[in-house]
Amino acid sequence: MRGPEFRGMTEQHESSSGTAGGGAACLQGLAGLAALFCAALALWVVVRGGVAFSVSGWHIQVTHPDRPAVLGLVLASLVVWRKRGMGLTAQVAAANDWLARRDRWVPWVLALGAFVFLARIKAMDHWTFQTDAYDLALYDTAVRNTLHGCFLFADQLGRNFFSDHFSPILLLFCPLYGLADTPLTLMFGEALAVAAGLGILYRIARQHGLSPLTGLAVAGLMLNHRQMASAILYDFHTEVLGAVFLLGCIWQWRRGGVGYWLFLLLALACKEDVPLYTAGLGAYVFLRGRRGLGLATCAVSVAWAVAAWKFIIPLAGQGDISPFVEARWSHLGNGYGEVAWTLLRRPAYGLSLLVSPGVRDLLGGFGWLSLAGIEALLPALPGVVLNASSSLEAQAGLQLYYAAPMLPFAAWGMVIGMVRVKNLVNRLHPRPAARARLGAAGAGLLLLAAAGTFGAHYPFDSVSPRVRERHRIMRMLPEGASVSAESGFIPHLTRT
């Protein structure tokens, strides 16, 4: 028989076990509440702007949603692990299964969320006078004047917009301006295009056999890429639209058909330098075995470039060539031919441009994985060399919006690179359990990278009293009055 001492020890052990279990459950509940708080805080920053508060004498200021997003993701994973006994591998597998069953709707939900996110940023950017005469008002007046009988006449240039850039894609905004005559129509249109492009990028990742979580992570890295954020934040530019349509070409090239040609023509219509990228894509398609499609793509690209550079831009302007060629590439020669010949006969100079800081930023934003799919970068090489050789510092550094047409190829290279890494791991680790653990770790790291950069390069401002005062003063101006104002007022004053 067991004595009273043994029973006392048993009761004490059960009591301590119950206390420990209760403590673990309490910590688990606190972690769950903290994860929900982080999610709510990230959402608050996105919707309302930065937030500052004090807790027990600690002053906390959150200006971007990236840190609460990372912390919330980690805490949520820990809660699931403790509550359901699911490790990282099981969590990733369950999430992928859940998303795969809804794969048809994932890109639509992704695009909707991205549009709401970007539309808020665009609206605040314009409302707080961060947009200016160059370049938003230039695009705005060109579209607006077309509706009033002056075909693409840009007030700030004093001439037709085609004298600077051949961007017939602007004509698609004319019917929209008939419904909403405001610069926000252009800005929201760009936000919608980028959001749709993220859905297309998700489809590209799935097309290459990557998991749904990995596809979402790639789309997140694209949205939060510093150069993409820079392009989106610089008012409105057709280069951003061109990047989206180039993604569409990448998505559709295996099928060919109407979808591919529609995206190709829309991309070409964005700007006169897009044929550099589409011709490169045509060469890639040719080398991958679709020779007829590749040759046709190259032929259309060359014909479009000749029409734009040799005829349309000079006829709309006052010179024989684009004014930007004279202003930014005169150190390489006079005219298109001399500039191209100089770049061709100086291969060392061209190679040095491929390792410039702007190119390093482009690849670094995708974790350098694009190099593992280097063939996807080849179509962008002519555009990289042309931009990096410009005498304009911002263009040479691929800053502002200049890197936008290259981003689709870098993202595509990342997708191909991840497929190669996955195949290599499968060969080195034949055991399914090891492959599953490594795949889960990779997906987890990508999700943390996407969460860790979430909104990091976007502003989340709130409307200040100074902004309200500016709007009050602007409303006092009589209609038709001539005023002298700083650049941020110009897109607003074109309608007074």
* Model confidence at 13: pLDDT above 60: no
Does position 24 have pLDDT exceeding 70, yes or no?
A: no
The predicted-structure confidence for 223-238, as pLDDT tens digits, reads as follows 999 999 999 999 999 9
pLDDT at res. 468? 80
pLDDT of residue 8: 53
- Residue 256 pLDDT grade (very low, low, confident, very high; cuts 50, 70, 90): confident
Q: What is the CB-side half-sphere exposure of residue 345 using CA atoms within 13 A?
A: 8
Confidence of residue 1 (pLDDT cuts 50, 70, 90): very low
Mean pLDDT on 8-32: 59
Distance CA 58, CA 281 (A): 54
The tokens of 128 are what? 């707080």
Alpha-carbon gap, residue 439 to 217, rounded angstroms: 14
pLDDT digits (tens, 9 = 90+) for 130-182: 777 678 888 999 999 999 999 999 988 889 999 999 999 999 999 999 999 99
Contacts 24+ apart (CB under 8 A), 286-290: 290/253, 290/254, 290/256
Model pLDDT, residue 6: 46
Say which residue, 10 or 94, is predicted with more confidence.
Answer: 94
Whether pTM exceeds 0.85 = yes
